[in-house]
Chain A
């Protein structure tokens, strides 16, 4: 019935009526404008930077670039999150009844690319850019211009990777004004999965696959540039008081991460170019009669496994940095956390074939990879126990950042333990490519990695914006996220035990209840994200102004660390300019 009445008319007439009534009540007097709070920062202070858009396009200041990275990563996360919601919608029912199988394949492919390369990595690079120079007492990053280039390569690479959608949007825009340009509709979203396994990825005719490969290559260049910058900054730009002995834990983890990037990403870059050549120039690197599809898997995972540590080490660093601040104690076993980080950095290159146990490789080789994979669990466990020991007997305050740190540890334990099982060959042969794997790595990527990013967003929000967020909403977001991750991904572990293979749009009806619980959990996570975004945007506009740099009461436990001391001098300078 409703569908027959034009809603536009209903709304316009209703609003018109109300407006006339309101005007009548107000006598149509355009009342003089009262300040209504809809303005930005009350912290007017002088700066030699240009203003407006120009500032953001030309900046080489590490803080501005850090902010650009963070904003970019947030946008990418929301986009990848949209994909996730669409995946979960399809999986709500057993049949293929929402999207087509092709669209489904495109969705998880785009989701993986976007989250790994354009959300997680840039988010941490952004934090590193903002805080490492401050933490190590440098004026800026070692190479400010390269820093800017590294950031500005990311938007084009995201455009290349998700280009088909963007060109189609353009095409549709042109079509509304009557121009139809078929070329813009020729790129279909790729369906390769983020692992780009050959021969599938080599044989797909869709030209968008080539753009994806080039886009990933470009993002790899950007990542390597940023990594070199971080390494050189920490080695050569440290202030006089900062030695290797008192370098903070966040810088240590970022240094290790950057080291891994330096060795892993070039391998990805070359393999991508080889695949481009296979697709376009008739080379046979990965063809069955050439190097074979297994060569791709080796090269990809030689990058791919270190990549997961590239993502998780900064998260560990943030947890190690933030957790003690809200436990009122120093980080327990600082040295061991550093050593375990370095150990992970080295070992991460020796485990890649655990992704290939099911390919029929030599059993002796398999066994040695299993041994190293089990060994890498040890440094991870060292960290977990150190965090617990830090909390033990501490005076824990459940502020939003702390909820996310502890929630991150919880999810990491589940993600890590399920990972140890996967590292064992007989178990992996059963669970490989089932939903168990999806559950396992999401406890880490959606658990500790994203949680650490949320924790940092709350912890440093006052420093970044000069305002405070709504702390109750922050805590609600924290609890929602923890519940959401368990409700979403526990069922996937169980579904995997049931043997359901992943990456299919339809599945036997017996799995429907668990899949539906999982989709329900995804909605919980989504609600949390909306709360987070609203809270931070509105607090940035309207939140209470910070005048005392010690927002988290860190002085009383002697943890008023360098970035907050820096913030204190900033606040002093700003108040000097304020009349």
Chain B
């Protein structure tokens, strides 16, 4: 499949799963995290959850996957695109935590930091894995496992 489309497909998968994870986190924490408020703050729309979320989704579907495609070979963690995707996602997460955390502190902040990181990692993984799967032209000759090699 053509590369930009593959990247977007990766972005769609990633964002779909990530939004669901965030939604579960929101409900599981009985809305104490106000996670979608954070998303809105992150998107520069404090107070406007709907628009903030739409911007967030658009960025996750188009902007970042396309940037990922262009930047792929410079991102550490290769050659596996999924690992590279996770590296990119960690960078995104840092900004997300800094700009989105609002007034959270203490235990809530800890939960927020940990679980948004996990959600971002899922996003990056899926972005890279789907992209890699759709663009790869067939398997490399895979490495063989050698049981006598104890260095592993």
Q: In the bound complex, do residue A38 and residue B129 qualify as a contact, i.e. CB atoms below 8 Å apart?
A: yes
A59 contacts the other chain (CB 8 A): no
Name A18's contact: one of B67, B99, B106 (CB within 8 Å).
B67
Chain B positions within 8 Å of A6 at CB level: 41-45, 99
Bound-complex Cα distance A404 to B81 (A): 32
Q: Could you say which residues of chain B place their CB within 8 Å of the CB of A183?
A: none
A179 in contact (CB, < 8 A): no
Known: A36-B81, A472-B152, A543-B145. A2 touches B99 (CB 8 A): yes
Q: Is the CB of A8 within 8 A of B56?
A: yes
Query: Which residues in A have their C-beta under 8 angstroms from that of B133?
Result: 38-40
- Which residues, 65 to 81 on B, are CB-close (under 8 Å) to A? 66-67, 70-71, 73-74, 78-81
Inter-chain CA distance A144–B55, complex, in Å, is 49
Q: In which size bucket is the chain B interface?
A: 35 or more
In angstroms, Cα B96 to Cα A552, docked, is 44
- Chain B 89-112 interface residues, beta-carbon cutoff 8 Å to A: 91-92, 95-96, 98-102, 106-108, 110-111
Looking at the complex, which one of A19, A26, A542 makes contact with B80 (CB distance below 8 Å)? A542
Q: For window 128-152 of chain B, which residues contact chain A by CB distance below 8 Å? A: 128-129, 131-133, 135-148, 152
Residue-wise interface mask of A (514-549) relative to B, using a CB-CB cutoff of 8 A (1 in contact, 0 not) = 000000000000100010000001100111111110
Interface residues of A, count at CB 8 A: 68
| B147→A103 contact, CB < 8 A | no
In the bound complex, do residue A39 and residue B145 qualify as a contact, i.e. CB atoms below 8 Å apart? no
In the complex formed, the residue of A with least CB distance to B67 is A15
Contacts of A97 in B (CB 8 A): 106-107
Known contacts A7-B42, A35-B136, A36-B136, A19 near B67 by CB under 8 Å? yes
User: Which of B53, B70, B135, B143: most chain A Cβ within 10 A?
Assistant: B70
Residues in A whose Cβ lies below 8 Å from that of B30: 99-100, 103
B28 contacts which of A16, A30, A82 (Cβ < 8 Å)? A82
Across-interface contacts of B152 in A (CB, < 8 A) = 468, 470-472
Closest Cβ of chain A: how far from B3's Cβ, in Å?
Answer: 6
On whether the beta carbons of B132 and A89 are closer than 8 Å, the reply is no
Of A467, A468, A537, the most chain B CB neighbours within 10 A belong to: A468
Q: Which residue of B lies closest to A399 (CB)?
A: B150
What's the Cα separation between A86 and B135 when bound, in Å? 40
Cβ–Cβ contact B92 & A11, under 8 A: yes
Residue interface mask A1-20, B partner, CB < 8 A = 1: 01101111111100110110
Q: How far is the CA of A16 from the CA of B145 in the complex (A)?
A: 41
- Given A5-B99, A90-B107, A172-B27: A22 in contact with B74 (beta carbons within 8 A): yes
Q: How far is the CA of A3 from the CA of B41 in the complex (A)?
A: 7
Asked whether A545 and B145 contact (CB < 8 A) given A2-B98, A9-B44, A18-B67, the answer is: yes
Q: CB-CB contacts of B23-55 with A at 8 A, as 1s and 0s? A: 110111110100000000111110000100101
Q: Which residues of B contact A537 (CB under 8 A)?
A: 125
- The smallest beta-carbon distance between A111 and chain B, in angstroms, is 11
Which one, A5, A42, A169, A553, contacts B142 given CB within 8 A? Answer: A42
> Which residues A224-248 have CB closer than 8 A to chain B?
none
A243 to B29, CA, bound (A): 53
- Is B59 among interface residues, defined by CB-CB distance under 8 A? yes
Bound: A9/B44 CA distance, A: 7
Contact (Cβ within 8 A) B136 A19: no
Is B101 a contact of A3 with CB atoms below 8 Å? yes
Contact status B139-A39, CB under 8 Å = yes
A51 within 8 A of B: no
A205 to B96, CA, bound (A): 40
Task: With both chains docked as a complex, state the minimum distance between the C-beta of B5 and any C-beta of chain A, in angstroms.
Answer: 12
Judge if B123 is at the interface, Cβ distance under 8 Å.
Answer: no
Known contacts A165-B28, A168-B27, A172-B27; A38/B70 CB under 8 A: no
Q: CB distance A33 to B128 under 8 Å?
A: no
A538-B80 Cα distance, complex, nearest whole Å:
9
What are 23 inter-chain pairs, A to B, with CB distance below 8 A?
A5-B44, A6-B44, A7-B41, A7-B43, A10-B95, A12-B64, A15-B63, A16-B67, A26-B73, A33-B3, A33-B136, A35-B136, A38-B132, A42-B142, A86-B28, A97-B106, A99-B29, A165-B28, A467-B145, A543-B145, A550-B147, A552-B147, A553-B147
List residues of chain A with CB under 8 Å of any chain B CB.
2-3, 5-12, 15-16, 18-19, 22-23, 26, 30, 33-40, 42, 82-83, 85-86, 89-90, 92-93, 97-100, 103, 165, 168-169, 172-173, 176, 462, 467-468, 470-472, 526, 530, 537-538, 541-548, 550-553
| Nearest 10 interchain pairs by C-beta | A38-B132, A6-B44, A7-B99, A15-B67, A98-B107, A19-B70, A544-B145, A42-B142, A468-B145, A89-B107
